[in-house]
Amino acid sequence: MVKNNPIRGASRWVAASMLAILLCLPEAASTQEEVASAIRRYKERELSTGYYEQYEAKPRHIAPLVGVPGVTRGIFPYSTSAAQVRTRTRLADSHWGIKFYKNLRCEYCHVRETRDIHTVRANLTCRQCHGGEPIASLEHYYSPFNPIRKHAYVCSKCHEDSSASFASYVVHPPNPALIGTMKTFPVLFYAFWIMIAITAGTFIIFLPHMVAWGIRELFNKKEKAEGEPKRK
């Protein structure tokens, strides 16, 4: 084995590989930062006052006599085929027909959607992404949330240069531990449980092992093993 100075050897490796990494990685650009309190970029894109929850557009007028199955029941309900395009996922006003809608707050119904990183950590309000009334259904053709333009109309308010792929990040993710997630987001479900299994396995084996070891050593002095030759 070649003799070498270990410090010089190690520091050379560290320096060379750090340099290589820094050269290969793109600069940590400010466009990739998470925007929590800084709303400057958001304001460049948003025309509203920014005073959400205080001055809001009223919800759309409800036609009293026309109903959508499962949504409202009027005297003249839509035909089945007409109703299909007017389900909640395709309406121009997704909250259309909800009673006392203008007196309700978003979290009255959407509880889970208030508990994720964007809302809790970045302190975004619903309106900052979903906009004022009427809030169109995700699949409505002109909705800013339609996947064909969500990245440009919604995500890029903060995450400049976001792509359609980037916009497929699930902002309100399901709880990965729940069995229902196996259907809605299987990769997340399995990744979560595999990682949990590794973690649990490690501790199930090594915690009792550690405790037993600790107790055993209390009864065992630091001494020579049995039958061991004495040091010359």
Partner 1 sequence: MNPNENNRIKRFTLTHRIFHLLLILSFLTLGTTGLSRMYIETSWGKMMAWVFGGYESCLIIHKYVGIFLICLFLAHILYLLYKIDWRQFPRSLFGPDSLLPQPRDIKNFFQHTLWFFGLSKAPRFDRWGYWEKFDYWAVFWGIPILGITGLLMAYSLLASRIIPGWGLNVALWIHRIEAILAMAHVFIIHFFIAHLRRHSFPMDLAMFEGSVDLAPARYEKHSWVARLEETGKLQGLFVPQVSISIRVLFYIFGYAAMCVGVFLLIGGLINSTSITW
Number of residues that bind partner 1 (CB under 8 A): 70
Which of 84, 125, 184, 199 is close enough to bind partner 1 by CB under 8 A?
Answer: 199
- What is the Cα–Cα distance from 129 to 44, expressed in whole angstroms? 14
| Closer residue to partner 1 in complex, CB, 44/223 | 223
- What count of residues does the chain have? 232
CA angle 151, 155, 161 (to 5 degrees): 70
| Closer residue to partner 1 in complex, CB, 108/213 | 213
- What distance lies between CA 58 and its chain's CA centroid? 29
Question: Residue 77 interacts with partner 1 (CB under 8 A)?
Answer: no
- What is the Cα–Cα distance from 70 to 153, expressed in whole angstroms? 30
Question: What is the smallest separation between the CB atom of 103 and partner 1, expressed in angstroms?
Answer: 27
The interface with partner 1 within residues 147-186 (CB under 8 A) comprises: 159, 161-163, 165-170, 173, 175-176, 185
Q: Is the separation of the CB atoms in 39 and 124 below 8 Å?
A: no
The interface with partner 1 within residues 107-146 (CB under 8 A) comprises: 115-117, 120-121
The interface with partner 1 within residues 14-53 (CB under 8 A) comprises: 14, 16-18, 20-22, 25-26, 28, 31-34, 36-37
- What is the Cα–Cα distance from 175 to 171, expressed in whole angstroms? 12
Question: What is the smallest separation between the CB atom of 8 and partner 1, expressed in angstroms?
Answer: 10
- What is the Cα–Cα distance from 155 to 176, expressed in whole angstroms? 23
77 is written with which tokens?
């309900």
Secondary structure of residue 12 in the 3-state scheme: helix
Q: Is the separation of the CB atoms in 94 and 142 below 8 Å?
A: no
Site of interaction with partner 1 (CB under 8 A): 1, 6-7, 9-10, 13-14, 16-18, 20-22, 25-26, 28, 31-34, 36-37, 115-117, 120-121, 159, 161-163, 165-170, 173, 175-176, 185, 187-188, 191-192, 195-196, 198-199, 202-203, 206-207, 209-210, 212-218, 220, 222-226, 228, 231
